Structure formats: structure tokens, C-alpha cells
Structure 1
Amino acid sequence: MIELIAIDLDGTLLSKDKTISPANIDMIHKAIQNGVDVAICTGRPLEAIQHILDTLGTNSSDHYSITYNGGLVLKNESREVVSQVTMSMGQAQCLYEAMLAVDLPLEAVLIDAVYQFPFPEDFPGTYQETMNFLPFKQFDMTNLDPETAIFKVVINTEIAHLESAMTKLPEWVFEDFEVMRSHPYQLEIMPKGVDKGVGVAHLAQVLELTADQVMVIGDEENDLAMLKWAGTAVVMENGRPDIKQYADYITSSNEEDGVAKAIDHFVFYQEDDNK
């Protein structure tokens, strides 16, 4: 029996216009009313999903969110931390220099803001365009507290440039950190050992649940770890083809109430034609 549902946002719960369909909202409310915990699992910080938690009715201290791709798990209203893993400013400095050498713009995501460091001349970072509801600050690496905790760094740029530059990155970047594409135009780098699977596992442990009692819903590369970990793995019809091979079930797209249909199918045991 499913007791926890962890849901990705972009391409999954959210439509292209970044809204949540009435059907998805109603089905999540129904699941919660029937005793199922529902947690957002995202690369975003908690500050960036407040309106979503309000819409879902989960912005309270008896509900949780998994943020920074598993790097921070916390209670929604009280913000009591369940688990967190961060990287140091020294590590961020090394990553910044590696990215700058191949003309990739790096931005560091902290608990309360995004720090923009000097971009390559011809390739400014575009993370602010997609996350314009977050506070962005411009800094030089040399004028920050060395004790500053960073949850992840983000490279957001042109798709072709990103794909080309990634082939030139030194091996230590991939060996010492968790590196994944969350969008075709976005690369995210987290501390070693951080992924959505770890975040979901931590929350399940707090709730005293096993993997068999957990369902996760996603669509992209950064959802893969939680899809592999959970007892029930759901991938959206609009998900990446290589991610779909890990699905126990492929639901409708994010434009067709796919989250609602998956919850209805697994929690309320409604039959449909999706396989």
C-alpha cells in the first residue's frame, strides 16, 4: 500500500505554463485526505515553491519537501531540517574555474538566494530567466565568507554550447560531484552522494516507511535516482525515452493530468489503458 508520493515539478506536476491543473490538485487533496503523505521533490529551494505548497494545502509542519535535488529535506512550515548536504566555497571555487575554462556560466544556489559569479564574456548565465522569483545577487568568489554553505551550482545556457562544453570538462568534476541535466539547457552539480533518491529515502526513513510503500513521479534525468529507489516508479508520457525504461508505469503527459491519473491508478486502484 502506498503511503508516500514524491512528485517532481517541471514536466511532471506543472504544465508548460507552470500551473497545476485542477484535476491534479483535486487528486492530491484526495490522497492526503486518505492518509497518504505527498511531498514535492525538486531541484528548487523551498522559497521557490511556497505558492505550490499553498495550492496543494501542504504548507504546514506535518508535511515535508525534498529540495535541491535531495540535498535538503525539511518540514514545510517550521522549516525543521530532516537532512542536508552542502558543498564548501572552496569546492565551488574549483568548479567555477573549471566551468570558466570552457566558457560555462556558473551560479551557486544557497538556502536564501542565488549567487551569480562573473560570467564568460560571450555566455551569460540564464538561470534568472527561468527562476525570476528567486533573489539573485552578484558576487566575486573572493568576497564571500569561506564558510558559506552551497547546496548546488547551476549552469544554464544555450543547449548546443552546454553539450559541447560538457565534453571538455575534467574527469574530476564527474568523479567528485553528482552531475546531471535537469533540462536540456541546464546542468546541475551537487555534493557527492546527493540525489533525489537519497532525499526520498531520508524522508521515508523519517516516516518509518519502506521503499515498497513509496511512489515517485518524474520525467527527467535528475529524477532517475528516485525512480530506481522507490517501490513504484511512474514516468510521464512526455518524459525522456531513456528514463521511461525505469518506469513501472507510464502515465499521461503533464498537459493531460498525468499525476492525477497515476495517483488514481495506484492509490485508488482505478483501471485505465496506460501501460
Structure 2
Amino acid sequence: MKPIKGYIFIDIDGTLVDKDLRLNSYDIESIHKALAHDYDVILASGRPTPFVRWMAHQIHESVSVCGFNGADIEGTLLGCIDDTVIKILSNLDLNMIFKNQSGYYSNRLTIPQAFNYDMIGNYPRQMHPLSDILKVLIWVDAKEYDTVKRMLDSIEDISITYYEPKGFELSAKGIDKGKAIIHYVQDNIPIYSIGNDTNDLPMFEVSDASYIVGNKLTGHRVESVSEAIIEILKGGNIE
């Protein structure tokens, strides 16, 4: 096995795909080129791992996966949300989706289409509450955001990603994409990350270079994943 020249962690929604989950052929080609030049490419998403793997298989069989905002990287679970926290959340009158490795459950009959995983076939919606929860998604009306934020901030032993004014993602305490990267990488090998939203900030913090797609965050902006990878490869003297 050849030595790895670098790790490239790529967010999915809003970074690699559009709202209709469409991949760009230029991005796919650039990922293939990075793999061919001995870079390890990892899709890192807040989405469930089965979805991330489904997306990775559309790109290349060698693409690795990190799901649930870093709670699962290449099949290694880094932390489930404490059962006590789940009990507290279950007693709140909020719009929630609870996710584990095998499926998802919602306390609401109807959920936004964006949170439905029928397209991948192996991540079903469950009719009963789940155990071993890796992530909880909460969506709110904008006028409720501040009230719900104060409520969630009072709960201990969780990590919260804030998507003002739409909602929140909850993970086990200390779990995020940055934690997953630290667990996964080898020392002294460059780390690059490409993302677009607040759940990517921990990923950026542990990277040697970060690239931002879109205008939600400040930093080194690029138009696409392919543009970022071109810069990364040029830094490695690969044209």
C-alpha cells in the first residue's frame, strides 16, 4: 500500500451536492484524480452513515465515509447520546427525528421530505422509539428558535450544532466531525477539509487547510469541490 499524501474530508449537503442531491461530474473527476494520486478521500456528513455510503458508492469504491456528524467513521462508533438525555428530549413537545445505525424514528407523523431516506432502501423509518441514538434532529419555526435554543442549552452531556433559525442537531457530548478526523488520521499527514455550514467548523479547526463552498461561513472560499481539490493537488505539485 502506498503512503497517503493527505486526507481530504468533504461535506455532502450544500458542498458536494445541491438540494436535489445531484453530483457534479467535475467534482467526481477531481475526487478520482485525488484518489489516483494517493490522497484518502472521506465524505463527512451529518447524514446517517448508510446515506453517506450510498453517496460514496456513486463516486468511487475507495471513498471512505463518516456519518452522523462524526459519531461513526468507517464503522467505528465514537459515541451514542446518553439514555438520560434521550428521555429528557422524548418528554419535550418538539419536532424531532432520532437516528441510529439501522434506521430513524420521529415523534411526528409527517416529516420534511429532506429528512426521508426512502431513496437508499436500507435505512428505514421505524414506528417505535430507538435505542443507541447517534443523532437527534430538531426542526422549528423561526419564531420558536430562541426559546428552543435556551431549552436545549440547559441540557448537559450533549453537543449541539445550531442552524439558526431552522433547527438543531444533537450528538453525544464531545462528538463532532473534528473528533472523528482526529480518531481517523495518522500523525504528520496533511488534512484538508471542504464544507459549507456550521457543523463543518470542528472539521476546519483540525485541518491544515480548509475550503468553504457558498457564503454561509467566512474563510477561504471556492466555487466547488473540484476547485478546492485542484488547489490541494497543486500544493502537492500535481497538475
| Global fold match (TM > 0.5) | yes
What is the Cα deviation at residue 2 of structure 1? 5.3
Q: Is the Cα–Cα contact under 8 Å of residues 181 and 221 in structure 1 kept in the other structure?
A: yes
Once residues 223 and 138 of structure 1 are traced to their aligned partners in structure 2, the CA distance between those partners, rounded to angstroms, is: 31
What is the Cα deviation at residue 233 of structure 1? 1.2
**Aligned amino acid, residue 165 of structure 1:** T
**Aligned amino acid, residue 262 of structure 1:** A
CA gap of 1:168–1:3, structure 2 versus 1, over 3 A, is closer
RMSD across aligned positions (CA): 2.5
Report the counterpart of residue 232 of structure 2 in structure 1.
Answer: 266
**Aligned amino acid, residue 204 of structure 2:** L
Q: Is the Cα–Cα contact under 8 Å of residues 126 and 157 in structure 1 kept in the other structure?
A: no
Aligned partner of residue 126 in structure 2, secondary structure: strand
TM-score, L = length of structure 1: 0.75
Query: Which residue of 120, 126, 130 corresponds with 1:137?
Result: 126
Report the counterpart of residue 273 of structure 1 in structure 2.
Answer: none
Query: Which residue of 14, 19, 26 corresponds with 1:16?
Result: 19
**Identical counterparts, % of pairs:** 23
What is the Cα deviation at residue 88 of structure 1? 3.5
The reply to whether residue 152 of structure 1 matches residue 135 of structure 2 is yes
Unaligned ranges ≥5, structure 2: none
CA gap of 1:135–1:189, structure 2 versus 1, over 3 A, is same
What is the Cα deviation at residue 239 of structure 1? 3.4
What is the Cα deviation at residue 91 of structure 1? 2.1
| 1:23-59 residue CA offsets vs partner (Å, 9 max, x unmatched) | 000000000001000000001122113331112113x
Report the counterpart of residue 98 of structure 2 in structure 1.
Answer: 108
What is the Cα deviation at residue 82 of structure 1? 3.2
Q: Is the Cα–Cα contact under 8 Å of residues 96 and 137 in structure 2 kept in the other structure?
A: yes
CA gap of 1:106–1:130, structure 2 versus 1, over 3 A, is closer
What is the Cα deviation at residue 170 of structure 1? 5.3
Unaligned ranges ≥5, structure 1: 75-80, 253-257, 271-275
Aligned partner of residue 169 in structure 1, secondary structure: helix
What is the Cα deviation at residue 168 of structure 1? 4.1
CA gap of 1:30–1:170, structure 2 versus 1, over 3 A, is closer
Equivalences for residues 1-275 of structure 1 within 5 A: 3-58=6-61, 63-74=63-74, 81-97=75-91, 99-100=92-93, 104-117=94-107, 119=108, 126-133=111-118, 134-139=123-128, 148-158=131-141, 160-169=142-151, 171-173=153-155, 175-181=156-162, 184-204=165-185, 208-210=186-188, 213-236=190-213, 238-240=214-216, 243-244=217-218, 247=219, 249-252=220-223, 258-269=224-235
Once residues 56 and 203 of structure 1 are traced to their aligned partners in structure 2, the CA distance between those partners, rounded to angstroms, is: 21
Once residues 113 and 20 of structure 2 are traced to their aligned partners in structure 1, the CA distance between those partners, rounded to angstroms, is: 17
| 1:221-265 residue CA offsets vs partner (Å, 9 max, x unmatched) | 1111111111111111x131xx31xx3x2111xxxxx10001101
**Aligned amino acid, residue 223 of structure 1:** D
